[in-house]
C-alpha cells in the first residue's frame, strides 16, 4: 500500500498567520558573536504580537501502556513496539538515557528505511548527537529537507562551541536549525504514512536523571505540535 504523503504544514494551523517554509538562508553567526541575553529576547507571545501564546488540544486515548524501565540498561529496550493508532505508551527510566536513541529505535520497530518528516525540539544536544544525526542523514534515513531542530537560547549561550558545531553542520547538510526561548522536548516523526509524537522530559543528549516520555501514534497530536512549532519557527534565530 502506498504511504500517505507527509502533511502540508501550511494548512495545520487554521486561523493563524503562519509561515511554515524552512528558509534557513540567513548567514549563521560566528562562534562567540551571539550575545543575546534572556532579557533581550522578548517572550514568545510578544514575538508573535499576542497577549498570550498558548496552544491547547484535547485527545481521548484508545489504549494506555505504562512501563517502568528503571531496571533496564537502556530505556529503548522497554519499547518493544510502536503504539497503535490512539494508543499512548508511558515510560519512566532512571538509567543513562538519550532522547536521540528513540530515532533509530523508531525506524527499526517500524521496519522503515527512513523518516518522511522529522521535527525535534530540545533544550540542548551533544557532539555525539550531531555525529549520529549526520550519520543518519548520510545513510538516507533522515531527509535533511524534512528535518528541523528547535533548541534553546539558554543552551546557545551556555555551550557556544557545540551550538556553532551544530549550526555549521546544519548549514552544510541542509536542515533547519534554530533557537528560541524553548524548554520543550518533542519528537514528531512521520514514518510510512503514520504519525508519531513523543513528549518527553529528556533532551537529545544523555542524562542519568529520572526521565519520562510518552509516545503515541496520533495524526491529531502530531499536527497540533507541528502547528505551534510552525508558528514559532519564523521568530526563532538560525
- The model's pLDDT over 190-223, given as tens digits with 9 standing for 90+, comes to 999 999 999 999 888 866 678 889 999 999 999 9
155 vs 180: CA distance, rounded Å: 10
Rounded to the nearest angstrom, the gap between the alpha carbon of residue 48 and the centroid of all alpha carbons in its chain is: 21
Query: b or e along 74-110 (b: 16 or more beta carbons within 10 Å of the residue's beta carbon)?
Result: ebbebbeebbeebbbbebbbebebbbbbbbebbbeeb
- pTM score: 0.77
What are 43-85's pLDDT values in tens digits?
867 777 777 666 667 777 778 888 777 766 676 788 899 999 9
Rounded to the nearest angstrom, the gap between the alpha carbon of residue 8 and the centroid of all alpha carbons in its chain is: 18
62 vs 135: CA distance, rounded Å: 36
Here the cell at position 144 is 535533511
CA dihedral 100, 102, 103, 109 (to 10 degrees): 170
Strand arrangement of the beta sheet that strand 87-93 belongs to: 63-68, 87-93, 211-217, 194-200, 186-191, 117-121, 147-152, 176-180
104 vs 61: CA distance, rounded Å: 26
What are 133-157's pLDDT values in tens digits?
999 999 999 999 999 999 999 999 9
Which DSSP helix (H) or strand (E) runs through 108?
helix 102-110
Domain ranges in the chain?
Answer: 65-235
34 vs 157: CA distance, rounded Å: 8
Class of domain 65-235: alpha beta
Amino acid at each position: 500500500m502506498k504511504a500517505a504523503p507527509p502533511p502540508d504544514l501550511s494548512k495545520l494551523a487554521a486561523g493563524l498567520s503562519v509561515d511554515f517554509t524552512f528558509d534557513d538562508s540567513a548567514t549563521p553567526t560566528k562562534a562567540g558573536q551571539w550575545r543575546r541575553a534572556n532579557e533581550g529576547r522578548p517572550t514568545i507571545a510578544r514575538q508573535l504580537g499576542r497577549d498570550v501564546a498558548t496552544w491547547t488540544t484535547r485527545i481521548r486515548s484508545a489504549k494506555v501502556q505504562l512501563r517502568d524501565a528503571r531496571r533496564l540498561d537502556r530505556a529503548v529496550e522497554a519499547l518493544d513496539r510502536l503504539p497503535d493508532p490512539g494508543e499512548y505508551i508511558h515510560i519512566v527510566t532512571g538509567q543513562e538515557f538519550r532522547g536521540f536513541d528513540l530515532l533509530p529505535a523508531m525506524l527499526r520497530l517500524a521496519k522503515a528505511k527512513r523518516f518522511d518528516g522529522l521535527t525535534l525540539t530540545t533544550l540542548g544536544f551533544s557532539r555525539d548527537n550531531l555525529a549520529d544525526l549526520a550519520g543518519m542523514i548520510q545513510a538516507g534515513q533522515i531527509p535533511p529537507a524534512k528535518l528541523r531542530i528547535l533548541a534553546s537560547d539558554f543552551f546557545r549561550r551556555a555551550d557556544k562551541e557545540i551550538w556553532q558545531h551544530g549550526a555549521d553542520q546544519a548549514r552544510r547538510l541542509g536542515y533547519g536549525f534554530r533557537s528560541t526561548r524553548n524548554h520543550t522536548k518533542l519528537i514528531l516523526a512521520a514514518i510510512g504514512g503514520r504519525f508519531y509524537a513523543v513528549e518527553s522530559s529528556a533532551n537529545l543528549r544523555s542524562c542519568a536523571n529520572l526521565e519520562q516520555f510518552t509516545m503515541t501514534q496520533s495524526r491529531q497530536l502530531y499536527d497540533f505540535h507541528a502547528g505551534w512549532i510552525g508558528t514559532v519557527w519564523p521568530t526563532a534565530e538560525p
